[in-house]
Structure 1
Amino acid sequence: MESVDVLDGETREASAVPAADALVAALFAAEADRLVSLARFFVEDRTAAEDLVQEAFIRLSRTAHRIRDSERAAAYLRSIVINLARDHNRRGLVSLRHRPPAVLDEPSAEETAAARESRSEVVAALRTLPHRQRDCLVLRYYLDLPVEAIATTLGISANSVKTHLQRGMRTLATTLEERQ
């Protein structure tokens, strides 16, 4: 009987791997571009943002077989990206792979259109906010996530998210008024 239990365990583990790989592939197809855009709010360099997202998918792929609720996988992935971006900024790393500074990217048409002065001021003001307020505002107003999804992503209560959103908006409005 013991050999049957081991075999059953191996069979379950083996069947979990293709499902986990499919989950990671589906998340990559659906979320990769949005995650790079999300990471750009936290780091200046597009190459570093892409590296952060790549590292997030690598970390997810290592633990994807343990994910029970695939609906929460995207929130888990966003939290990985945010934590990696914080770590990147805290340590002052140029990139996760310790490469020399990247050559500045040629802006795409989309980036050129989005590079208006008012957007730059808002992003600069966002960067002055405390981490939780900034995280909540970016997830809410840039990724259009509902409060519950933000709470799941950041691992805090929905009421905390609402508080951070309210305080962040108040501080952001004051900061932007002062700059005019």
Structure 2
Amino acid sequence: MAGDSRGVERSVEQTLGHLRTLDSAAIDASAPPLTLEDLYRQQRMRMVRLAILLVDDPATAEDVVQEAFTGLYRNWSGLRDARAAIGYLRTAVVNGSRSVLRRRKTAREYQPPHQADARSAESLAMLTAEHQAVVAALAKLPRRQREVLVLRYYGNLSEAEIAEATGVSRGTVKSTASRALDALQKLMGG
């Protein structure tokens, strides 16, 4: 395993080193940028490539770099020299990329609270009293129990398919279904 990680590390080092060399060749390091416009022309694509490597999305990377240059513009008069601007940009791009990744993670993890859908009067009228009681009891079950029963009996899915859809094991599907049926029986009074 250690040999594999060294090989991966070597590949990453070679690839990123190659990109760094390409970026460095495109910039005349001996002539510092004199204006923000010069800096933008010289460093924009390099910063975009850096952001792409961090956020893995060209459009988002462009936005991160644009925000970094906007911040630099606001703080231009406070910089000690033009060389410090490159460090400022690099830090701003890394921090902006981190913020993007944090927001992505938060968005993926967010699950809105369950809101029972109001059923139409027609659909309720078509249900017998017993069916209405089952639907009402289902709405009172915890989210996972409700999902398992709906996927099993409405979706007609197998335990394996339910496990895949909900991201739990087959054993958890079985036990959840059993507990849900017990809870429904209690909720329906018998």
Tell me which structure has the larger Cα radius of gyration.
2
Asked if TM exceeds 0.5, the reply is no
State the TM-score, normalized to the length of structure 1.
0.38
Q: Which has the higher contact order (CA 8 A, sep 6+)?
A: 1
Q: TM-score, normalization: structure 2?
A: 0.36
